[in-house]
Amino acid sequence: MKILIVHLGTLSQLIPATSIIKGLSKKSKCDITWVVEAEEYKDLFKYNKSVKRVITFSELKKMKGIFDVLINLHPKFPHKGCRDIEIKASFDYSFENEFKNFVDIIYHEKISNINIFQIYYKLAGLKWKGEGYNIQYYPRTRSKNKRVGVAVANANLRHYITNKLDLKDKRIWHIPYKKNIFKKMDEINRCKEVVTDDMTTFHLSMAMKKYVYFLRSFPSNIKMEFFGSGQIFDVPLNIIQ
């Protein structure tokens, strides 16, 4: 089955979206073409043997082809520009909305206690059964039991968590910035636990089964899925201002 998956969102939205590959592989043998917004996002699928090809939307517009199914995981998809692409069946939500409104429209109501994996699986016509991330990269570093990695840019917030989290017997280590996603995963993997307010770092840490303290500054209707290995710390707005 030839499947066209379109996700024109950010990297932090793309990482959990890889989970649907697991659900699709249980259904049938798939020939997957994945469409991303930016050229640099292709790197996320570099080691993923389950995705046959990764292209940008600009490349899709120049393509000719027939797909059995279109799965659109993000509303920002101007599909009318793809004149030479034929789709036999579609799970296509191609309206223009912000992501939070996109979620509300899918469920026809304000949602709560629904995680991002459940949303993506619904968009793919599948039922989520606890499947996690599917990046298929294995870090080249080893983790240390008492090392806690901190990926927090705001200095006030770093000071706040030092006082709030019980990390007395652990070694605090500031995770260095890495633009390359796999080098970033290597650095995260040096730690047993991770403290962050960054969604990309959160998802990569969860993909590597780290215990994550996520620092949340703004409320969200979407439930954060920790797979039993993490917790949320709500941070007062005055701390980060």
Residues of the chain with CATH 3.40.50.2000: 2-123
Residues of the chain with CATH 3.40.50.2300: 144-240
Structure token pair of residue 111: 């949602």
Q: Give how far the C-alpha of residue 217 lies from the chain's centroid of Cα atoms, to the nearest Å.
A: 19
Q: Which CATH architecture has domain 144-240?
A: 3-Layer(aba) Sandwich (3.40)
| CA gap 176, 206 in Å, rounded | 18
Going residue by residue through the chain (241 aa), what tens digit of pLDDT does each one get?
Answer: 999 999 988 999 999 999 999 999 887 789 999 999 999 999 999 999 999 999 999 999 999 999 999 998 876 667 667 888 988 888 766 555 455 556 665 555 556 678 999 989 988 989 999 999 999 999 999 988 889 999 988 777 877 777 777 776 788 888 999 999 999 999 999 999 999 999 999 999 999 999 999 998 877 777 899 999 999 988 877 776 6
What DSSP letter does each residue of 117-139 carry, written as one string?
Answer: HHHHHHHTT----S---------
| CA gap 9, 2 in Å, rounded | 22
Contact status, residue 153 vs residue 200, Cβ threshold 8 Å: no
Class of domain 2-123: alpha beta
